[in-house]
Amino acid sequence: MRHVGLKTRMAVVGSILFAFYALIAIVAVAAFGVGLPIVLVGTVGFAGFQYIVGKKVALWSAGAEELPADRYPEVHRSVERIAGDMGLEKPRLMVADMGIPNAFAVGRRGAGVVVVSEQLLRLLDHGELEGVLAHELAHIDNRDVVMMVMGQSVASMLGLAAYFAIAFSRDGGIGNIILGYLASVLVQMVAMVFVLAISRYREYVADADAARHVGGDAMARALEKISAASGQSDAELDDNVAALCISGGDRSALQRLFATHPPMEKRVDAVRAVDRQYY
């Protein structure tokens, strides 16, 4: 089986996220007397709604626009070729001004979108850019993008549920609002711990997949250039896309503890190891 480690992590995290949904459904039934069938239908419908909205919010927050095929024919051809090698339909290609060289993917197999920043297109040579594109296509191929979008949405939903449950309890008052806010932050942090269980690992897997398609040296050079350029910029990624991007940016020691991406130097070493293995 391909990528057993990633598939196992996704299955475990998916089960935990489902348990969170079930918990909310049980609370709704017990506290508000809502019928169980209605809650189940609503939960499934809301999950689908979250996936669709999460995808659109990521694109909207990045300010993504269509990448014109007449101006970037080589990029479109590269994506079509690599996607074909992976057995994927060619995804929609978009471009955004993120302030730093970066890229991310959203969607699923057959309905994927790859977004590259204007800065990335200017920074990388064609071979390095193909490495980044292959990395993003690998995320779609491995289906981990859906898990990340859903995981972030579940964390937000649980935070809101905790806030309203405490802030608008019978006693009311400013104290409950403050407690509700603190509970919301804490619940979201706990939920995101489970998302982090796959977030860093999926980056290693996508890097390795990209290295096997374009060569580890090209992928390593791309990661090194992205890391160096990001370290020289004050631009910050929007929270809606930061976890999805190929680079999460340099952070403090505390932030790295909860980082969605592994250290860049370890990723570079890993893709060069792939090169030694396959080439």
Domains of the chain and any CATH numbers: 47-278 (3.30.2010.10)
For 168, the 3-state DSSP assignment is coil
Higher pLDDT, 61 or 116: 116
Q: For the whole prediction, is pTM greater than 0.95?
A: no
pLDDT band of 120, cuts 50, 70, 90: very high
> Which residues does the annotation mark as catalytic?
136
pLDDT tens, 160-206?
A: 777 877 777 666 678 778 888 888 888 888 877 777 778 888 899 99
Phi, psi (degrees; rounded to nearest 5) at 253: -60, -40
pLDDT at position 32: 60
Higher pLDDT, 158 or 182: 182
Higher pLDDT, 23 or 250: 23
**DSSP letters of 242-276?**
HTTBS------HHHHHT-SS--HHHHHHHHHHHHH
Mean pLDDT for all residues in the chain: 82
pLDDT band of 252, cuts 50, 70, 90: very low
Instruction: Determine what percent of the chain is predicted with pLDDT higher than 70.
Output: 82
Q: 100: number of CA atoms within 13 Å, CB side?
A: 25
Query: Of 236, 260, 183, 193, nearest to 13 (Cα)?
Result: 193
Out of 20-34, 170-184, 245-259, pick the least confident: 245-259
> What average pLDDT does range 92-100 have in this prediction?
94
